[in-house]
Structure 1
Amino acid sequence: MFKSLFRPKQQTRKAASTDGRVVYAVGDVHGRLDLLDGLVARMTEDFQALGRPDKPVLIMLGDYVDRGAQSAAVIDRLITLGGQARDGHFDFRALMGNHEETLLHFLDDPMAGPSWVEYGGGETMASYGVQRPVGRAEPEVWEQTRQAFRAAFPPAHETFLRQLELMVVYGDYVFVHAGVKPGLPLERQVAADLLWIRNEFLDNPHGLKATVVHGHTPTEEVFIGRQRINVDTGAYATGLLTAVRLDGGEPKIIQFSKARAA
């Protein structure tokens, strides 16, 4: 369903600095807890094999919810990972995706519901035990659904989502969910572009002296270019979740694959 978004794999790029850190950036999870758990285990093994005395950085690039069946459990796992980071095991940075933004809009406005369920929000509702309206529901039905969803949505989950970051920078790498608006410096980037931009960013040089690491646009293969790295491999549909390890050398791709859930 997203073949029109595929881009060919680019082979060469110049290595960039991470300010001495080992950084793992994870693509769009979309309710696939099984893949997230498997990939976290792979990244843990990878870092242990490096034998470094410092601690790594784990960056989640957004879109944790929708489409897959385990959105609530994914948020639970991310909160747990944040707790482990506070205990000193690693640094944890979680970015907001456009799907998290839409979920938060629905918590505040019932009329955000119809568009949300078109893009997988119904699966997220179900993961919290709430049934989506059937057919073209009236506004009062959506308000009832919003109230039921808010009642089922744990306060800790809302706090986690509302504290998500829009952008993280380590050395020569900029981490965002969707991309950046070409021609603008980082300090002038706005949330709408960081969360939603697609072709304008994918098809044009962004002009930053940095490599932008992002998800949002699913591809058959990880895209590694001089200006950007895309690690969204469509986990909810393909059963393949991807991360990239960045440490000042060549990027290393780490993946966990599982047969698509029925």
Structure 2
Amino acid sequence: MHLYAIGDIHGHLGLLEAAHDLIAADMARHGTGQIIHVGDLVDRGPDSRGVIDHLIQGQARGEDWVVLKGNHDRMFTRFMNDPAEPEPGLRSEYSWLHPKLGGATTLASYGVAKAADRPVPKVYSEALAAVPDAHRDYLSTLPTLHLAGDCVFVHAGLRPGVPLDQQTETDLIWIRDAFLIEAESFGPLVVHGHTAIDHATHYGNRINLDSGAAYGGPLSAVVIEGREAALLTPQGRRKLPRPAPMLFRNA
């Protein structure tokens, strides 16, 4: 059995299509497998709308794709429900429209211009008119955890010591330090994104797929067989390094 996984997309439709092409080429050689996307479909990149359309259309035509919810996806959903509602995982000095988070770029992909520079009520009114209900419904109903093979797939990670069925959504899409410093096994191999590093890396108890597409880095696609993984490249599979220094950004 093999599984495929794709890291944080952040509005980069071209990178997502290229990742799917790499997977298709690998499937042609090794057989089909399920594809899991670990969340953060939106923000920072130029075409969040196109990314969501691409994923909705693929699942509608029967592709064996799992799409998980990331913290940026929930921030988008929460803004569309009520821009004044606080996000539990976000520092109080930030809002989704803060330039550091990229919400304005997501709204720009729907035709709502300069969202970070105008009054929120006006932006919100335009967003309600511009963002399709189908996109809002899709993001709000995305799962936050997926079990397959020897792996558990989540966006951010797991709270150590907490059973899978008792993990909170906020931890699954936001957790960092307590998860990242944990050296013990979580049981299943945890496959996640959320914390941007230089390249997809296997740490033994977890695999981090966020190779920084949001910051100009690549979008990683990997194939997982058992508890081993390989990065997919135009030249074929390349075994993931393990371990590597945890050089990550805080945004």
Partner of 1:41: 21
Contact 2:97–2:116 under 8 Å retained in 1: no
Cα root mean square deviation, aligned? 1.8
1:249 to partner: Cα distance: 6.5
Contact 2:36–2:67 under 8 Å retained in 1: yes
1:171 to partner: Cα distance: 2.4
1:97 to partner: Cα distance: 0.2
Please say if 1:124 is aligned against 2:106.
yes
Please say if 1:76 is aligned against 2:45.
no
Structure 2 residue runs without a partner (length 5+): 87-93, 235-251
Range 66-75 or range 126-135, more displaced: 126-135
Q: Which amino acid aligns with 1:31?
A: G
Range 156-165 or range 122-131, more displaced: 156-165
1:254 to partner: Cα distance: 1.6
1:110 to partner: Cα distance: 2.1
> Which residue of 178, 191, 197 maps to 1:213?
191
Partner of 2:128: 150
1:255 to partner: Cα distance: 4.7
Runs ≥4 in structure 1, deviation > 3 angstroms? 132-135
Q: Measured at CA, do residues 133 and 38 of structure 1 come closer, stay the same or move farther in structure 2, by a change above 3 Å? A: closer
Return the TM-score normalized by structure 2: 0.84
Aligned to 2:196, the other structure's residue is in SS state coil
Partner of 1:61: 38
Aligned to 2:161, the other structure's residue is in SS state coil
Structure 1 residue runs without a partner (length 5+): 1-19, 257-262
Partner of 1:15: none
> Which residue of 80, 84, 109 maps to 1:107?
80
> Which residue of 212, 218, 228 maps to 1:240?
218
Contact 1:167–1:174 under 8 Å retained in 2: yes
Range 154-163 or range 192-201, more displaced: 154-163
Contact 1:61–1:214 under 8 Å retained in 2: yes
Greater RCO (Cα-Cα under 8 Å, separation 6 or more):
1
**Residues paired across the two proteins, number:** 225
Q: Which amino acid aligns with 2:113?
A: Q
Contact 2:108–2:115 under 8 Å retained in 1: no
1:234 to partner: Cα distance: 0.6
> Which residue of 222, 228, 238 maps to 2:206?
228
Return the TM-score normalized by structure 1: 0.81
| Greater fraction of residues in helix | 1
Aligned to 1:251, the other structure's residue is in SS state strand
Contact 1:63–1:99 under 8 Å retained in 2: yes
Aligned to 1:178, the other structure's residue is in SS state coil
Partner of 2:91: none
Identity across matched positions, percent:
38
1:131 to partner: Cα distance: 2.1
